[in-house]
Structure 1
Amino acid sequence: MIKNNLSTDSVVSQMEGNIVSDMDGEKVMLSIQNGKYYNLGELGGEIWELIKEPISIQELVTVLQSQYDVTPAECEEQVISFLNQLIDQGLIQVEDNDHS
């Protein structure tokens, strides 16, 4: 299995074609493309909202870290793990930020 090569410089954004609803404070999503339902949970729903527009993983981690009591390393690890799951399901797109 090929491992997704995400770094904090990677820029992620939502793929089109997903219907997202709020259920008791948690986000649930239906992917039109694969016909599957996903429960993103509270934190996953928050990440989903933050990636409506393209955003670097570093910015994502910074925003979440300011809202939750978590170390930068732990936050980065959790965010990348969640994003890898979304990539595996074809729900987000990734660009490498090579604008140096």
Structure 2
Amino acid sequence: MMVRKLDGWLAAKVGGELVMMNAQKGNYIGLSEVGARVWELMDSTQDFEAICAELDREFDVVPEICRAEVKAFLEDLVEHGAVAIDRA
């Protein structure tokens, strides 16, 4: 599964979180530290498994739980129009 950021989103760090805004749509999203890290990782890779592998290395998490939570997080970002997922 591949993921990619969609255009039109501005992002800024506020403390340990990331605040994102789509000026065209007027949407705002606040991401936790882990969500912000996923967003950052998408700058260097669009591969879901590579993102999860890096999170496994950086955080104390069970790999299966990490994958399930990252998948749910990305699907939420799809609903907000921030990312697209290619399941092929």
Q: Same fold (TM over 0.5)?
A: yes
- In percent, how many aligned pairs have the same letter? 28
Amino acid in structure 2 at the alignment position of 1:60: I
Residue 92, structure 1, aligned to residue 83, structure 2: yes
How many residue pairs align between the two structures? 88
**Structure 1 residues 67 and 43, CA gap change in structure 2 (3 angstroms):** same
Residue 76, structure 1, aligned to residue 67, structure 2: yes
Amino acid in structure 2 at the alignment position of 1:25: G
Q: From the CA coordinates, give the structure whose radius of gyration is larger.
A: 1
Query: Which residue pairs with 1:11 in the alignment?
Result: 2
User: Which runs of 5 or more residues in structure 1 are unaligned?
Assistant: 1-9
> Which consecutive segments of 4 or more residues in structure 1 shift more than 3 A?
none
Higher helix share: 2
- 1:26, 1:39 within 8 Å by CA — same for their partners in 2? yes
**Deviation at residue 22 of structure 1 after TM alignment:** 0.6
TM-score by length of 1: 0.81
Amino acid in structure 2 at the alignment position of 1:69: D
Query: Which residue pairs with 1:3 in the alignment?
Result: none
Q: 1:55 aligns to what SS in structure 2?
A: coil
